[in-house]
Amino acid sequence: MNRILALLALAMLASACSQNNETGDTAASAPTESAEAFIARVNDEYKDWWRELNAAGWLRATYINEDSAVVDSLANERYAAWHSARVKEALQYEGQEMDASTRRALDALKNGALMVAPDDDAKRKELATILTEMGGMYGAGQYCRSEDDCLSGNELELLMNTTKDYDELLEYWVGWREIAPPMRDKYARFVELSNEGAKEFGHEDLGALWRSKYDMSAAEFEADTARLWEEVKPLYDELHCHVRAKLGEHYGTDKVPQDGPIPAHLLGNMWAQEWGFIYDIMEPYPGVSDLDVDATLKRKDYSPQEMVRSAEDFYVSLGFDRLPDTFWERSQFVAPRDRDVVCHASAWNLDGDDDLRIKMCIKQTYDELRVIYHELGHNYYQRAYNQQPMLFRDGANGGFHEAIGDAVTLSMTPEYLAEVGLVASAEQSEQAVINRQMQQALDKIAFLPFGKLIDEWRWKVFSGEVTPENYNQAWWDLRLQYQGIAPPVERTEADFDPGAKYHVPGNVSYTRYFIARILQFQFQRALCEAAGHEGLLSDCSVYGSKEAGAKFKAMLEPGSSVPWQDTLEKLTGTRAADATAIIDYFEPLMGYLKEQNANRSCGW
């Protein structure tokens, strides 16, 4: 996760009036400087705020206590007042002639937030406090069997990854969700206040503001994401059918009925968002080219820093510079023993220049290693665009920021893993290819509907279609519709299951993860072409290709200074997100799944 995007979620960006408001002193007054001079001044001031907000956010995430809550909340409250004043000034330039870059910067200033507060000091303070409190509740959340036997969220996630006992999984699944009901009223109030602020920006609600960030109308964006989902849905449906059948064999069809949804706690992940941890149940050809990276990490006793060095080495092989010394001095690699921290992985650039860091609680697993490669993708993107003006130091769109590191993980092929000593063999038989694609699909394909539905739920909440009285029912309706999963026990409106997922109380947009899962394959296909790869797309690693690295850099450096379609064209030669690359990549697995499902009744 890119911390700079999360920064905008934490900052209470506020506007005093709608862009269409033609009354009052602000709208009536004439600007005292040119639009270009105004943007230059904002960029200078924003740099100072960037450092302060990130420092406060880092403190809050790595030292969860009452003092850090005060520091973080006050920093965001003060920033909101500054931003509100700058937006008021920006509105004075409406209708004026100016160059495209200045216009884009003004739009970024006005509409770049994931949340906006009303133009009211008390409400702005209330909103800042609510978000800080919800983040703290999530970060310090525990499931306690007794007063002396409590498990943190990170510990519960690890247990969900490893055990296959039905009742034990159910206990952890239900236990973690006990942290969320206290957030429910806070979240409802957060929606009220954020919608009020969004309307002052001229948007119908906060969801409409989110959908306006993609260099297309909100309606066009919704249609585009729907198109992409329909293109990949046949592959997901085949995977779901096969997974349900295998889980039925493992747990019994009394627990996993073969004509309905999959129980949500059986997929190896606390949120059933990625299913890679049930690969031992799903392995098509047992023992064929077993890529047991976990065993290597443990046998060689890789430290967290060594795991991060492995990821850094990959980027360096493409022609990127090594990370600064301060990265190694200031990052959080492990969970401290003396305090609560947010272990959810994130990448940070604290000063907008080169104070790059990651925040993780690293474990010796292949899954964690892939997360590290992903997080460094954020850091290298942050560094690549750090010569842009401050308002453009962001991804071309949210999906780009997530797709960079994801594309790099696609190059973690058996040949690559063998070359760097993480596996002993790089066998590439047809059976080995199917095994590897199954392992990847359990994460990358299984994730797609989850990536799409979280923001759809929030869009319905923000629009009022879903009210606090049916938060939980609407959540599970969408999970059934898109994922074909269901809660393992009855859930009611006394529960608030969306709050058990970090991105909801943290107010971090999620559609970008869905887009990233599409774009990463599009990026990979273009990078492999630059590297001169021939053969199956799934066999390609661009490790060591300076040609691919040069094209990668050229796409990263503009940041958000131009429409994302222009940026995409630099690497791929096309101007639209394209799911054909993901279909091409998984063509061998699709054939296997269709054979396995030939005599099954699929769907739910």
C-beta separation of 147 from 110 below 8 A: no
Q: Considering 203, 265, 374, 533, which one is annotated as catalytic?
A: 374
CA angle 512, 603, 403 (to 5 degrees): 15
Q: Considering 432, 503, 526, 530, which one is annotated as catalytic?
A: 503
Phi, psi of 485, deg, nearest 5: -125, 160
Question: Who contacts 45 (Cβ-Cβ below 8 Å, separation ≥6)?
Answer: 82, 86
Crossing angle of helices 218-251 and 430-463, in 10° steps, is: 130
Q: Considering 79, 471, 510, 513, which one is annotated as catalytic?
A: 513
| 346: β partners | 359
Alpha-carbon gap, residue 296 to 293, rounded angstroms: 5
203 catalytically annotated: no
C-beta separation of 372 from 307 below 8 A: yes
375 catalytically annotated: yes
Q: What is the 3-state secondary structure (H, E, C) of 294-363?
A: HHHHHHCCCCHHHHHHHHHHHHHHCCCCCCCHHHHHHCECCCCCCCCCCCCCEEEECCCCCCEEEECCCC
Token pair for 469 = 């009285």
Q: Considering 265, 344, 401, 533, which one is annotated as catalytic?
A: 344
C-beta separation of 436 from 538 below 8 A: yes
Question: Would residue 573 be called left, alpha or beta, if left means φ above 0 and alpha means ψ between -120 and 50 degrees?
Answer: left
Helix (H) or strand (E) holding 4: helix 3-10
Any idea what DSSP says for residue 602? -
Task: Cite the beta strand spans of 384-523 per DSSP E.
Answer: 485-486
Q: Considering 203, 240, 242, 378, which one is annotated as catalytic?
A: 378
C-beta separation of 43 from 50 below 8 A: no
Q: Amino acid identity of 141? A: G
Reduced to 3 states (helix: H, G, I; strand: E, B; else coil), residue 400 is helix
C-beta separation of 355 from 329 below 8 A: no
Radius of gyration of the chain (CA): 24
Alpha-carbon gap, residue 368 to 325, rounded angstroms: 22
Q: Considering 77, 89, 375, 456, which one is annotated as catalytic?
A: 375
Q: Considering 345, 441, 474, 516, which one is annotated as catalytic?
A: 345
CA angle 296, 301, 307 (to 5 degrees): 80
Question: Who contacts 466 (Cβ-Cβ below 8 Å, separation ≥6)?
Answer: 457, 460, 474
374 catalytically annotated: yes
Alpha-carbon gap, residue 176 to 172, rounded angstroms: 6
513 catalytically annotated: yes
CA angle 206, 208, 210 (to 5 degrees): 70
Alpha-carbon gap, residue 508 to 454, rounded angstroms: 10
344 catalytically annotated: yes
Kindly give the pairing relationship between strand 346-349 and strand 262-263. Answer: unpaired
Token pair for 277 = 């941890």
Q: Considering 196, 200, 402, 529, which one is annotated as catalytic?
A: 402
Measuring CA to CA, how many Å separate 237 from each of 5, 50, 199, 603?
32, 43, 39, 7
Active-site residue list: 344-345, 374-375, 378, 402, 503, 513
